[in-house]
Structure 1
């Protein structure tokens, strides 16, 4: 191999590591005018993406751009993906059940039965139906490739949820049980197609005036939100967890590993923390993993399998539930997302500082107002005094003149 010349430079693309996203979803859209039309996509911001599909914001997709199919409703979504790539893999498998190896071979053969081939030789994609999509969704969340992720299925239309339940009763799918969340009291189909507020489009906008009462007002407003508009778009649900981790490692209170009991040097390893707010159990990531995997195997009643990562378990110190997904989200946020952490923890501080500045400004204005009033009073007194002196002087002069005249 010839040596490189001095003028030649070798450039490599370095991917910056990122924390586990606060939210990344794979969603299912259904056309309001035509319920048979479905669309599957992925996004970290469901309200904004729905607005784009309905033509109320820039973006969207060509398949959802037909005016005859708008507005679209986001009837179901899956959350809990550890990265954008993971969500894209799941989206592709759900869009292509006839090709995905996660789907059993007999189901793939059944899906392509009677379909022809394209000119390129590839099989034609089967037409989507709500029942078929729910079957594929149940199979995908149950396979080991996706089943050990902290996934959760959300339903916003009762009809779609009933199809999910009907498919589950008809077919016995193996795999892990996945949490299912239903929210049917949210916006109607017409209101879901409405324009999204700027605050929803950009969760980083801070419209508060610095008062602590604003946080209570925001909490009250969040409680009134339903459907996709009630989903947490940032790391607020684990704010106390993140603050606890920052405090532990800032003051080097990690101590000994809760599992192996060995001392943990600051900044020399990957350390995970118990998610419970009142517990400060810290341990090596591999120690936590082995401990939780052992607990899972003991609970199932069989020997340790070939799983690499656990799903959940029990803390050895507080005996509270430990969710591996939440633990890894806090860990990656602590070591890779310093900007996100500062934004999360300093938001309230900025509001309080703004409130103090506002109060200070009012006090300063009051002081200035008071000093101006005092100056005006002093000036008035001086004018009165000058006037009285002038009167006295005038009276003395007049009396002198009168005497002189006499």
Structure 2
């Protein structure tokens, strides 16, 4: 069986789930669709994990998550490491913060009990280890007390995070939005309305938390359209780094992500330029961010690679994203046209 390559997903997350009834009950999982997954954990729709199916612990809430994974497999690796920090080979033995609690009857190490503090401290560790430190990850917190616990740990440890790692927050100002209430109570119809912004309830609060996350490629639609135009009409020109002519249809080429810039370059050239321009003596082939040599605007390596893989591997996704929505003509308007 041939495995078809896929583009970098629009969204794939590793999340922290907490029981609203018993805050000490925690669960770590991964999903490309947090609202739907929360609905499953709360028994609103089919699915969910056995460990979250106990009625006396429901409803659950997602209090934080990590996004920006380049694939489902990447997210699953991170999820396993965060769930098993006492065993993960991604964490050097000398850096472990969590140790096994004895052994099971089969001789395997016993998993330590989780606490919010242990999860956040190991999360801080994982985004700094060699396996994950250069991925285009983002941290999201949806509960003020969890954010406060994260800040306490960051102030306690001497190990600093890279400055380019975004830490984003989204809290409810006036209580849960309609979408959140619906996901907890079981009203899946209202949940879908709330997740899309909500139009039927005059008092509907703006989506927040997991309901404000973009679940598709819409945020980079203009970028994708620009890149499509550049390559379809062979406007690649010369590489913005090495200045050599780019052969249309041959090789891997990335496009500047800034709105009014069509700077194109070889992927290897972009990588070398961004690494050398960082001023930190970085080596390797995986940069994080830097400046476009053509427009001098800031570019994110992760965004450029998402567009590149979407262009090369996501034909259906691109077609769906750029497809012009046909305006629906109501019967009343059609009748008015016929009688005019």
TM-score, normalised on structure 2? 0.90
2:187 and 2:130 mapped to 1: Cα distance? 37
> Does residue 100 in structure 1 map to residue 73 in structure 2?
no
2:241 and 2:307 mapped to 1: Cα distance? 19
> After superposition, where does 1:160-175 map in structure 2 within 5 Å?
160-175=146-161
* Structure 1 gaps, min length 5: 1-12, 208-214, 368-406
* Structure 2 gaps, min length 5: none
CA change 1:199–1:21 in 2 (3 A) is farther
1:195 and 1:61 mapped to 2: Cα distance? 17
Q: List per-residue Cα deviations over 1:112-149 (Å, max 9, x = no partner).
A: 36x22111111100000110001000000112211101
For the pair shown, which has the larger CA radius of gyration, 1 or 2?
1
| Residue 289 (structure 1) shift | 0.8
Length, aligned pairs only: 334
> After superposition, where does 1:216-295 map in structure 2 within 5 Å?
224-295=206-277
Residue pair 2:154, 2:160 contacting (<8 A) in 1 also? no
Q: List per-residue Cα deviations over 1:349-380 (Å, max 9, x = no partner).
A: 2234x35x97983454224xxxxxxxxxxxxx
Q: List per-residue Cα deviations over 1:208-264 (Å, max 9, x = no partner).
A: xxxxxxx9x89xx99911110000000010010001011111111111111111111
Residue pair 2:44, 2:188 contacting (<8 A) in 1 also? no
1:144 and 1:362 mapped to 2: Cα distance? 65
Matching residue of 2:287: 310
Instruction: Indicate the SS of the match to 2:74.
Output: helix
1:222 and 1:268 mapped to 2: Cα distance? 51
Residue pair 1:272, 1:327 contacting (<8 A) in 2 also? yes
Matching residue of 1:185: 172
1:281 and 1:332 mapped to 2: Cα distance? 17
TM-score, normalised on structure 1? 0.76
> Does residue 31 in structure 1 map to residue 16 in structure 2?
no
1:222 and 1:104 mapped to 2: Cα distance? 48
1:232 and 1:222 mapped to 2: Cα distance? 19
| Residue 171 (structure 1) shift | 1.2
CA change 1:128–1:107 in 2 (3 A) is farther
2:43 and 2:139 mapped to 1: Cα distance? 26
Matching residue of 1:64: 52
The CA RMSD measured in Å over matched residues stands at 2.9
Structure with the higher fraction of residues in helix conformation: 1
CA change 1:41–1:256 in 2 (3 A) is same
| Residue 201 (structure 1) shift | 6.1
